[in-house]
Structure 1
Amino acid sequence: MKPFGFFHLKGIGGQIAALVLASTVALHLVVTAAFLISRPDRPDTPPDGAHQLTDAALLLGSTEASERPRLVADLSRAFPKLGIEMHAPGTAAIVETSDSQHLRGMRRHLGRGYKVVQLAADDTAHRVGVELPDGSVIAGRVDGGPRPWFWGAPWLTALMTTFICVTVLGLWAARALAAPLSSFAEAAENFSLDGEADPLPERGPEEIRSVARALNRMHERIARLMSDRTRMLAAISHDLRTPITRLRLRAEFIEDEVNRKRMLIDLDQMRSMLESVLSLLRNDRNVEAVTLVDIASTLQLIADQFGDMGHVVHYDGPASATAAARPDDLHRGVTNLVENAVRYGAEVTIRLDISGTRLVIDVEDDGPGISDARKQEMLEPFARGDDARTMDESTGFGLGLSIAHAIAIAHGGTLSLHDRTPHGLIVRMELPVWQEPRLAA
């Protein structure tokens, strides 16, 4: 680790440290400006309008009593907002003679011989009176009046500035950290192997960009690994088809009828196994688009197809039900479920139910069913059923349910197994009517 690398401005630590430093400097600048403006080290300065009243009191105090009415009239015209009035000794409505900060500031400017008192307030402002040395009182309105002790104090300004700086720091940290992490969670939720997902944006602090680059590279490696695996399986399948075909042709010349049939059954099973595995691990780049599909018509068609093959398959549901899906994938998934059902049961029912924004497809059979302990296990690839349902060991490879499960997840739905009364199995596929489908990993 480089010395002082923590304070690198491209990293989260450096940006937070820079913001804290900038907030501290701004705090000190605001406190200094407030100190220079208020100057608490100087004598108390009278509030707005009070210095005019003190000057008028000093002027009237040094004027003869006969000249005061004329001088008061001149001061009233000069300072109309002050509302100067002259009261004879003992006629002023004095409220208090407190020693508040407001009145103390005026006394400092008046000096000895003058007395500052608080008068009854009018509707617009506080009234303050100055008692002259001869007992007369000059009264005037002082805007603002005595303020609370905490208002305008430098410590309050510092507190507000600190609050603002901490708020800015918190908002920045929430945006700089929560937004990329939310995008990571969304990317993980929408992870797919079809190459259509946009890479994570590499923005923000250096640590966030580094994580985004690592996740993008991991996505590329996984996609490349899955693509190589699929190509390898496709090549193996292609290479095995030829020898299987040759073996089938040679098996036709076997004179022993029993051995010839066994050989042909084994070869058909090998070919079916290859096709099933390739269906489960198909190339994600060739995934079909999502379109509007009449689910009811698709299920009715599947029931008719199995009916033509001699199976008893019924459809129970509405005549029409439209949803967004991949038609071929949905057809293959339900077909796999019905194939399992007719293999172990004599009668199969395909039910369709739409409730709100979800549709439910139930494939019911009257076979032996599956124990509760193995229901979840049966959704895994190559998982075989209970002995009661494994009627023929030469058929089935444990891929039908796993393929249907992957198709349900790709549509944003679920696949689950349930018991049927009095016996049998219900395979339930729940799909959203409108969704943004995902690919099953």
Structure 2
Amino acid sequence: MKPIGFFHLKGIGGQIAALVLASTVALHLVVTTAFLISRPDRPDTPPDGAHQLTDAALLLGSASESERPRLIADLARAFPKLGIETLAPGTATTVEESESAHLHGIRRHLGRGYKVVQLAPDGGVRRIGVELPDGTMVAGRVDNGPRPWFWGAPWLMTLMTAFICVTVLGLWAARALATPLSSFAKAAENFSLDGTAEPLPERGPEEIRQVARALNRMHERIARLMSDRTRMLAAISHDLRTPITRLRLRAEFIEDEGNRKRMLIDLDQMRSMLESVLSLLRNDRKMEAVTLVDIASTLQLVADQFGDMGHVVHYDGPASATAVARPDDLHRGITNLVENAVRFGAEVTIRLDVEGSKLIIDVEDDGPGISDARKQEMLEPFVRGDDARTMDDSTGFGLGLSIARAIALAHGGDLSLHDREPHGLIVRMQLPVWQQPRLAA
């Protein structure tokens, strides 16, 4: 980055530098304004009541007794709030209290010849009495005490302003950086290949806009790449149907019954593989709209269909349980799970449980099960449960679980494998009742 480019106002560095500069200028303006308003250096700063009483006591103490009435009258006119007066001997009511700042300050300025006492308050106003060197007692009203030493000081205004400026700067920087990052994380979570995801908004500082543009272009390239891959594989799978059909017709003319049967079995397996691949590819394309579905009826229908084919498949669950889902995709996913179960087990149970806002569909079989080391691997496409790589009528192509898992993810749920006691496998599909649908990448 060029040094001069760091201060460009469209970038994060330039905006932070501008905000720091503006905060510094605002700080100095506030401190200067506070200083000009208070101006502790001005000579005409009016003294408080304690200073007025101290000056009056010194003036009266140095004057003769005959001049004191005139001076007291002049002081009363000059400082009306002081309320200075002469007390007759024995009429002063003192109050015992801890040493206050007023008393300490007045004693320090008057010296040893004067006695300062705290008098009873007059209408809630503090009164202080000063006994002059000749024994005369004068009293005056003072305010409730000096303000705390820190209140109104310029350094306090500086500290408060600096705190506000730093707080504003921190909040702005946190929002400017966290908001785009949160939108990036949300966009990555909602990443889909069907074109429904909104592109990232290209706003904010220049660096954030560059990242948003790069992510939008990456999204477009990935979507285009996946679309080309899907179209290519779909075209290949579709075009292979024609030669397979021709081969099947020609196989019918083979006179050897054994060879003809084996060839027809191989061709049927090839056709089934193509159908499975096309089914997997369709899952990457735009899916059907969600609607309110009776999940219990769908599961009961799948169990009845397999029962009609001679398999032992039971349904265990409520008579009705509705949720928002894609009915055809859900039926296809459950059918794939039951096909795997009846291939390896003699008896299959489709179990439905409703837990709050979540549906749990368990497909249980009494087959040999799957080891813990291979459970996660079995959810990947083209991974089969048999260790041998040969195919016969009892083996699949390793796409049933992956298609069912993709359907579960598209509904906002998940699919997992668990052990069944004493033996067998439980394939668990969890679906939200009210879901935010998304496509599995």
- Shorter-chain TM-score range: 0.7 to 0.9
Shift of 1:396: 1.0
Q: C-alpha distance in 2, partners of 1:5/1:135? A: 80
Conserved 8 A contact 1:317-1:351: yes
Task: Identify if the C-alpha distance between structure 1 residues 214 and 11 changes in structure 2 by more than 3 Å, giving closer, same or farther.
Answer: same
Aligned residue type for 2:160: M
Aligned residue in 1 for 2:340: 340
Question: Structure 2 length normalisation: TM-score?
Answer: 0.85
Conserved 8 A contact 1:44-1:104: no
Q: C-alpha distance in 2, partners of 1:152/1:131? A: 34
Aligned residue in 1 for 2:231: 231
Note the alpha carbon deviations across 1:113-140, whole angstroms, 9 max, x for none: x979574362634335577798655544
Aligned residue in 2 for 1:314: 314
Conserved 8 A contact 2:103-2:117: no
SS in 2 for 1:330: helix
Q: C-alpha distance in 2, partners of 1:136/1:37? A: 41
Task: Identify if the C-alpha distance between structure 1 residues 175 and 128 changes in structure 2 by more than 3 Å, giving closer, same or farther.
Answer: farther
Aligned residue in 1 for 2:304: 304
Note the alpha carbon deviations across 1:345-401, whole angstroms, 9 max, x for none: 121111111122222111111222222221111111100113499993674100001
SS in 2 for 1:247: helix
Question: Structure 1 length normalisation: TM-score?
Answer: 0.85
Conserved 8 A contact 1:344-1:391: no
Conserved 8 A contact 2:95-2:120: no
Q: C-alpha distance in 2, partners of 1:161/1:261? A: 91
Q: C-alpha distance in 2, partners of 1:389/1:350? A: 29
Aligned residue type for 1:234: A
Task: Identify if the C-alpha distance between structure 1 residues 429 and 371 changes in structure 2 by more than 3 Å, giving closer, same or farther.
Answer: same
Task: Identify if the C-alpha distance between structure 1 residues 26 and 133 changes in structure 2 by more than 3 Å, giving closer, same or farther.
Answer: farther
Aligned residue in 2 for 1:424: 424
Conserved 8 A contact 2:30-2:158: yes
SS in 2 for 1:120: strand
Equivalent runs, 1:170-189 vs 2, <5 Å: 170-189=170-189
Note the alpha carbon deviations across 1:317-344, whole angstroms, 9 max, x for none: 1111111211111111110000011111
Equivalent runs, 1:274-293 vs 2, <5 Å: 274-282=274-282, 284-293=284-293
Aligned residue in 1 for 2:325: 325
Q: How many residue pairs end up in the alignment? A: 436
Shift of 1:433: 1.9
Q: C-alpha distance in 1, partners of 2:198/2:32? A: 51
Q: C-alpha distance in 2, partners of 1:426/1:348? A: 10
Note the alpha carbon deviations across 1:68-94, whole angstroms, 9 max, x for none: 68668x749x94x55444335786559
Conserved 8 A contact 1:371-1:386: no
Aligned residue in 2 for 1:351: 351
Q: C-alpha distance in 1, partners of 2:216/2:102? A: 67
Shift of 1:189: 1.6
Shift of 1:38: 3.3
Conserved 8 A contact 1:411-1:437: yes
Shift of 1:249: 2.0
Runs of 5+ consecutive residues of structure 1 not aligned to the other structure: none
Q: C-alpha distance in 1, partners of 2:104/2:46? A: 8
SS in 2 for 1:166: helix
Shift of 1:36: 3.0
Task: Identify if the C-alpha distance between structure 1 residues 121 and 439 changes in structure 2 by more than 3 Å, giving closer, same or farther.
Answer: farther
Aligned residue type for 1:178: A
SS in 1 for 2:320: coil
Q: C-alpha distance in 2, partners of 1:250/1:51? A: 123
Aligned residue in 2 for 1:120: 119
Aligned residue in 2 for 1:143: 143
Q: C-alpha distance in 2, partners of 1:87/1:398? A: 110
Conserved 8 A contact 2:102-2:145: no
Aligned residue type for 1:278: L
Aligned residue type for 1:183: S
Aligned residue in 1 for 2:167: 167
SS in 2 for 1:293: strand
1:267 aligns with 2:228: no
Aligned residue type for 2:371: S
Equivalent runs, 1:66-105 vs 2, <5 Å: 67=70, 75=77, 79=80, 82-88=82-88, 93=94
Aligned residue in 2 for 1:20: 20
Conserved 8 A contact 1:107-1:115: no
SS in 2 for 1:286: coil
Q: C-alpha distance in 1, partners of 2:163/2:180? A: 26
Equivalent runs, 1:209-248 vs 2, <5 Å: 209-248=209-248
Aligned residue in 1 for 2:255: 255
SS in 2 for 1:152: coil
Which stretch has the larger CA shift, 148-157 or 206-215? 148-157
Aligned residue in 2 for 1:201: 201
Conserved 8 A contact 1:295-1:322: yes
Note the alpha carbon deviations across 1:286-344, whole angstroms, 9 max, x for none: 31112111111000000001111111111111111111211111111110000011111
Aligned residue type for 1:316: D
Conserved 8 A contact 1:378-1:384: yes
Aligned residue type for 2:8: H
Conserved 8 A contact 2:234-2:278: yes
Conserved 8 A contact 1:352-1:361: yes
Q: C-alpha distance in 2, partners of 1:179/1:127? A: 61
SS in 2 for 1:157: helix
Aligned residue in 1 for 2:368: 368
Shift of 1:251: 2.0
Which stretch has the larger CA shift, 81-90 or 300-309? 81-90
Conserved 8 A contact 1:46-1:102: no
Q: C-alpha distance in 2, partners of 1:16/1:222? A: 35
Percent of residue pairs bearing the same amino acid type: 82
Q: C-alpha distance in 2, partners of 1:116/1:326? A: 97
Shift of 1:269: 1.6
Q: C-alpha distance in 1, partners of 2:10/2:115? A: 62
Aligned residue type for 2:226: M
